[in-house]
């Protein structure tokens, strides 16, 4: 608990004619402690350099008024901070419900309509049946990804997302992540790997979230080919994703990693605003770095660098 000390000349409260005797018997090294407004206060009495003679009531009123004013200001500031936090939580809750309802409505409708078409025409040709099942599968994957993103972000913000490294072959792991992106988008990824494919120590769940979210964002906001470059260096792994989309305006770049935030030029494209926030959380758990560069309006470049040292026996960090 914070301590505030107020030093007061003793003669402000005691007339000069009594000060010498009072100081000798009562006010030597005298201080008074009390608590108010969530703080500790200490009132110290010291001899003044130049004794003053003023009415005790006037001086006491000034001191008491100053104390009360300071305490009221502290209480008011805490109340304002609590109110601002409550308003922020309310806004985040509204954004979450709005985003979840909007993002779940489309895949649910797709699954429902596809199931109805299968019921109405059970003798579909193999090709039409394949396309229908593909739509159901894609919609289910979209819903699963959304739920995984929400759970990952919730665990990260609650400090419950652990970093548990394992030995993985980064090149093979990147290919696995790319195949989990929607099949019709995978050919649009231009993958380039540099360095050894010897095992590296990374958390597979966190790296999977980093790669899939960066690639999904790039594919979503760019119709052209997306570049995915991975370099296995001596002490770290470098992952770079390049897209040729609309880019991120300069006045919005500072907010690019905020939860639920989406740029003004992306409002017409479905999205949750969770991807980059999740990527940043996973990078921090690796004690790595993420950098953003933009060539507005040609596109965006995200570069992630992750240490790949084997664990030294220390417990998983959060």
Q: What is the pLDDT of residue 102?
A: 58
Express each pLDDT in 49-86 by its tens digit: 444 444 555 556 666 667 777 767 777 777 777 777 66
pTM reported for the whole predicted model: 0.60
Q: What is the pLDDT of residue 210?
A: 94
- What value does the mean pLDDT take over residues 243-262? 78
In 3D space, the residue among 174, 172, 202 whose CA is nearest the CA of residue 189 turns out to be 174
Residue 11 near residue 51, CB atoms below 8 Å: yes
Express each pLDDT in 122-167 by its tens digit: 777 778 778 888 788 777 777 777 777 777 877 877 788 888 899 9
> For residue 238, which phi and psi values (nearest 5 degrees)?
-115, 125
């Amino acid at each position: 608990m914070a301590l505030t000390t107020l030093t007061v000349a003793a003669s402000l409260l005691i007339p000069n004619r009594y000060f010498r005797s009072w100081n000798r018997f009562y006010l030597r090294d005298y201080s008074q402690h009390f608590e108010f407004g969530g703080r500790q206060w200490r009132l110290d009495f010291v001899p003044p350099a130049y004794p003053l003679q003023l009415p005790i009531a006037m001086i006491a009123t000034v001191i008491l008024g100053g104390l009360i004013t300071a305490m009221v200001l502290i209480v008011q500031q805490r109340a304002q901070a609590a109110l601002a936090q409550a308003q922020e939580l309310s806004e985040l809750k509204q954004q979450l419900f709005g985003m979840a309802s909007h993002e779940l409505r489309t895949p649910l409708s797709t699954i429902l309509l596809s199931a109805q078409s299968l019921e109405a025409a059970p003798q579909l040709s193999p090709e039409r049946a394949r396309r229908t099942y593909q739509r159901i599968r894609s919609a289910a994957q979209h819903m699963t990804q959304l739920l995984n993103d929400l759970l990952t972000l919730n665990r990260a913000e609650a400090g419950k997302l652990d970093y548990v490294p394992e030995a993985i072959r980064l090149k093979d792991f990147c290919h696995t992540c790319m195949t989990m992106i929607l099949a019709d988008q995978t050919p649009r990824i231009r993958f380039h790997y540099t360095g050894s494919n010897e095992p590296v120590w990374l958390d597979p769940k966190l790296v999977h979230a980093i790669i899939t979210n960066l690639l999904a964002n790039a594919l979503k906001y760019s119709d052209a080919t997306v570049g995915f470059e991975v370099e296995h260096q001596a002490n770290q792994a470098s992952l770079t994703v390049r897209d040729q989309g609309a880019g991120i305006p300069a006045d919005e770049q500072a907010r690019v990693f905020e939860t639920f935030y989406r740029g003004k030029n992306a409002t017409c494209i479905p999205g949750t605003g969770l991807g980059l926030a999740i990527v940043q959380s996973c990078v921090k758990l690796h004690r790595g770095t993420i950098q953003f560069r933009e060539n507005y309006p040609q596109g965006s470049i995200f570069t992630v660098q992750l240490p790949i040292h084997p664990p030294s026996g220390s417990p998983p960090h959060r």
